[in-house]
Copies of this chain bind each other. A is one copy, B any other.
Amino acid sequence: MAKKNPITDEGIVVVKFGGTGLVNERIFLAAQRIAALKRKGNDHIVAVVSAQGNTTDELIELAKSINPDPDDRSLALLVSIGEMRSCALLTMALNALGVSAVALTGWQAGIRTNGKGYLDARIAGIDPRAIHALLNQGHIVVITGFQGGFIHDNVPEIALLERGGSDTTAIYIACIIGAYECVLYKDVLGILAAPPDVISDPEVLTTISLGELEETTESGAEVVSAHALAMLRESKCQLVVRPMFSDDLGTFVTLAPEHDRIVSSITFRPEIALVRIIARRRFRTGILNAFTKGHINIYLRERNNFTVGEQDAEKIKNILTDRGKELNITRYSVQTGFVQITIVGEGMRHTPGVLSQIEQILKENAIRSSLCSTGEISVSYVVRKARYKKAMNALYDHFFRNPT
């Protein structure tokens, strides 16, 4: 089943362990999972690790107790020790099990960031030579997630990646070293059809298409970083989200849809503000530029109506008030207290009438949508915060529990 890697002529597996899976004696469970993979004939394994438990948040708190506004460079150094710690410990645990392992920091593993900053950096590339050399020497290679480096004025600098950086690291490495499989071990049973804090006991998806996962991720569910998913399209790597604490197979992420359901997931983005604008002709470019300059993300747009995060509401009001005349705006309103629901499914591409099904359900439940935006395999509605759980449950019941 294992595809051969073009460089090493062997199958490589990349596994990634989240922070909750590395706390205290759980580090041995992670080591045992790797040892079991090796016993099954996987000779080339790379393990990517997050910081243990809440280490990252604790280190950020520690920094702020010293300096309320710590500089990015020192903060990156301080926070990076969280992954170094779990990387060294998992390596020791593997060696204790008699499985030869070597620890590499992101820097040592050849992970280079775009050099635009010490925080929220993106991977610019990976020089895989160190990883390949160690794999070929028969070691498991354990690598710190969430960090890489760049060269600034001849000094090797440490940079932290964006949120979800350990997943990104694992997927990037898997794609670049030609792994046939990348397994993300998480403390859930796999990718869920809906958020469990809204829908009780949602279905664990057996498969999800890459397109659906991208759409779900972009719609607010922090499953796997969208940035990393783009890499997967170009590779032959199989991404799997698998539970850390059970033997279930988890969710396989497929290039093309391998299921015949219409809807794959229902997700939401909380704390949305709704912006409505009445303006004379040709206002739009100016407004969009003004929003971009103010670092405001626009989530959805339907004609002259937009959604943005509630945290940007005041900023938007100021921009619209200050520059209203110049931007040809007659009137505007900025309302907070909304939630954006997104329904994702490859099946929507060639199933007519899904939209009318959805709107029928919203109508039956007396839920008014303030804005609707449709994509190729997704549709989003903006509803009042007080109504979104009811809306999501009604939609989930329709598409998952009582499919027609």
Contact = CB atoms under 8 A, between A and B. Distances in A.
A130 B105 contact: no
A78 B84 CA distance: 7
Interface in A1-42: 27-28
A84 B75 CA distance: 11
A156 B62 contact: no
Nearest to A100: B71
Interface in A103-129: 103-105, 107-108, 129
A contact face: mostly helix, strand, loop, or mixed: helix
Interface string A46-90: 000000000000000011001110110111011011001101110
Given A73-B103, A130-B153, A133-B154, 19 more contacts: A63-B88, A63-B92, A66-B96, A67-B92, A67-B93, A71-B91, A74-B88, A74-B89, A77-B88, A77-B91, A77-B105, A78-B84, A78-B88, A80-B84, A81-B85, A107-B156, A108-B155, A129-B154, A156-B156
B105 A92 contact: no
A334 B351 CA distance: 91
Interface string A358-377: 00000000000000000000
A108 B71 contact: no
Contacts of A238: none
Contacts of A320: none
Contact of A27 (B27, B66, B93): B66
Contacts of A155: 104, 108, 130, 133
A241 to B, nearest CB: 27
Contacts of A62: 89
A108 B67 CA distance: 23
A209 interface: no
A157 interface: yes
A208 interface: no
Contacts of A175: none
Q: Which 6 A-B pairs have the closest CB atoms?
A: A78-B88, A67-B92, A81-B81, A67-B96, A74-B91, A77-B88
Interface in A163-179: none
A102 interface: yes
Nearest to A93: B66
Nearest to A129: B154
Contacts of A207: none
A77 B66 contact: no
A95 interface: yes
A310 to B, nearest CB: 30
Contacts of A93: 66-67
Contact of A103 (B74, B84, B92, B156): B74
Nearest to A142: B74
5 contacts: A63-B92, A67-B96, A73-B91, A74-B95, A133-B155
Contacts of A133: 153-155
Contacts of A95: 67, 70-71, 74
A16 B390 CA distance: 62
Nearest to A130: B155
A75 B75 CA distance: 23
Interface in A185-239: none
Contacts of A75: 88, 92
A192 to B, nearest CB: 33
A89 B71 contact: no
Given A153-B133, A155-B108, A87 B96 contact: no
Specify which of A80, A155, A156 lies most central, judged by the most chain B CB atoms within 10 Å of its CB: A155
Interface in A126-169: 129-130, 133, 153-158
Contacts of A77: 84, 87-88, 91, 103, 105
A143 to B, nearest CB: 12
